[in-house]
Each structure stands twice: as structure tokens, then as C-alpha cells.
Amino acid sequence: MANSSLLRLEGDSRIAVASDRLGMRRREFLQFCATLAAGLGLPPGADAAVAEAVASKKRPSVIWLHFQECTGCSESMLRAEHPTLEKLILDVISLDYHETLFAAAGHQAEQARKKAMADNKGGYVLVVEGAIPTRDGGIYCKVGGQTAIALTRECAADAAAVIAIGSCASWGGMPATDPNPTGSSGVAAVLGKPVVTIPGCPPNPYNFLSTVVHFLAFGSLPAVDDLGRPKFAYSRLIHESCERRAHFDAGRFAVEFGDEGHRKGYCLYKLGCKGPETYANCPTVLFGDAGAGTWPIGCGCPCFGCSEQGVGFSKPLHMLAKVKNVEPPQQYPRIVEEQGMGATLGSAAILAAVAGAAAGGTAMVARNLGLSHKAEEAERAKAASKTTETEA
């Protein structure tokens, strides 16, 4: 009965208009909203609230800034299928500024950004893609004559929410690796306040979509952990949901790329997989809407921890991960354990002789202990007798 309120919306005229706008049948639209609510870990009945919000509320204005990055996060968004990118930016959100996807350029683009900020003051969502260089006053990245630092602070001042998408914007990512010549930093460090971070290189587009839809439906961002990551996407280790986890628990590991274990789908822990210390929902949400196995480990490539600060872009690829929930014990049996041959007559005779010697030695120790005790008792009696004679 949890979906009864959602099913009642099927005949709602607003749902019909929204589904036509998104190019979906009404049932598909409602299923899309239910999936979003479930993915966010929302309670029963929230799916109806999501559907009504997408169907009737004003699309949130989004200002999307680009700094030190490869545009991989935007490229990931291009490959979303439920809904597709054009449905997302035209019918779910209002993407009012995005340098890569804009038809406008130069002064026209900057005018569009400023107009969107003024028209939606206090109500727009700021999305930052890429790290922000801070060394030498931030001169290593400028847009429209402004440094990335100044532009971020200007846009964040009147934003209803700030989202750092990708590892570069979340905590510096690849540009911030040693020696970090430009002083690259994450958005939160530049603004001096917490922001919602969606790390990954690139992150899954549905993590961003779900975060924005939560804001649209409830007027607030989803619950986050101490690093600003939405808990619905980053509360569990990759290792916990990995399709190769059973092989890890059984002690079956690929040792070299292309060896028998690798071909059989064994655990990639010994090849440097960082899944045991990386929080993300990659194994459950997957990438590209192309079916099972469409994520790095599913394709035979170890996770390198791109969404985890201090792991991705920091630890060497071959270094073993620090397993945060259970270490593989050293007493794991080998994949093909050798079988014993049984005891021979000679070995049995030797074992019997050793056992007999041990039993004889034990008996002698017990006998000697008994004699020693009797001798001690006799000495005490003799000493007591001498004392009595002296007193007399």
C-alpha cells in the first residue's frame, strides 16, 4: 500500500502534462519518481511528493561553473538516460549557465549568468565543476576576467544551495596532487563553509540528479556525512556491494592481470583495488545504462578510489587497500589445497615411541614429586623432635 498515493496520481492532469513534456508514458514517469525516492532512501509516500514537485513546481535555476577539470563530470551527465540530458536541463531543471553546453559565448554568456542570478536571487543552485587554484591570488584560472575564487564567491553569495560535483571540486582531486603548483583546492575550502560534495572521477550522474530532485521536492538538500557527501550515495563501502566480494571472503584473488583468477572473476584486492576503503554506490547504480558489469571492477579493472580523499590520486595503483571492515586473514586456504597422504607404518611407530617416552617421563616426574614430598615431611618431623628434646 506504500505506493497507493503515487498510483492515485496517475490520473492527475499535472502528471499527464509532465510525462508528455518528458517524453514518457505516465506509468514510466511515476516509476521514475519512485526510483528516485527509493534511491534517496526516502520514506514511503515520498515518491508522490517527488512526482508532484517535478510536475508542478518551478524548475530550479542552475548556475554551473567550470574551473580546473577535464569536463568529465559534464560528459557523465551527457550519458544519463533516465531522463536524458535534454530532458533534465530543459524539463527538470533550468540550466541557465554552463560554458560547455551554452550556445552563447563571451559577453552574452556572462550576461545570461548575471541575469539568472538576479532573477532567482536566493533560489538558484550553484554547481561547481573542477578545482579552484588559490596560489598567487588565483591567477591560474580566470573566466570573463574574474578569477575562479572571485567568481565562486560571487555566485555562492545568493545561492540557495552549493554543490561541488566531481572529486576536483569536492577536495581538489587530480589538480591538487603533489606538488600542486597552482594551489588547487575544493569549493568548501575556498568558501569557508560546508557544501554538498558529489565526488567521483566522474561521479554517477544520478547522484547529482537525485540531489537536485530532493531540493526541488522538499526545498532542502539530502542528508550528508561529515565530508558533505549525500548519504544515499556514499554511506557504504564499494567493497560491501561488490559482485566479487564472495571471492574475497573465500580467499580467491587475481594475482596478475590476465591470470586464471582474473579471467574467472576473482577478487582484485591483490591487484590494488581500493574498493575496501572507498565509499560510493558504483556497484549498485552502475554507469551508462548499459546493463550489468558496467563499472570498473565489473570490467576487470581495480577501483582506484577516485571518490575518496587521500586514496584516489594519492595512493599508488598497486598499493593494497586498507580494508575498513574486515582484513583477509593469513590462514586462508589456497585456491587448490594440497591433500594429505595419510600416516605410514614408520611414522606411526615413531609417533608411538614419542608418545610412550612422553608418558614415561610424566610418570617419573610424578614419582619424583611424591618422593620429594615424603622427604620434606620426614625432615619436618625430625626438626620438630629435636626441638622437643631441647626444651625438655
Residues belonging to the binding site are 70, 73, 168, 201, 239, 242, 267, 273, 282, 303, 306
Find cell 544520478 and name the residue. Answer: 206
Element (H, E) at 208: helix 205-218
Here the contacts of 331-336 (C-beta below 8 Å, separation 24 or greater) are 332/250, 332/251, 333/251, 334/251, 335/251, 335/252, 335/261
Regarding beta strands 184-185 and 132-133, do their DSSP bridges make them parallel or antiparallel, or are they unpaired? antiparallel
Cα distance between residue 241 and residue 284, in whole Å:
7
Grid cell locating 364: 617419573
Cis preceding-peptide flag for 230 (omega within 30 of 0): no
Contacts of 201 (CB under 8 A, 6+ apart): 72, 166, 167, 168, 173, 174, 306, 307, 312
Cα distance between residue 173 and residue 347, in whole Å:
63
Annotated binding site for [4Fe-4S] cluster: 70, 73, 168, 201, 239, 242, 267, 273
CB 320, CB 269: distance < 8 Å: yes
Cα distance between residue 112 and residue 102, in whole Å:
10
CB 297, CB 341: distance < 8 Å: no
CB 167, CB 312: distance < 8 Å: yes
Cα distance between residue 297 and residue 243, in whole Å:
8
CA 338 to chain centre: 39
Annotated binding site for [3Fe-4S] cluster: 282, 303, 306
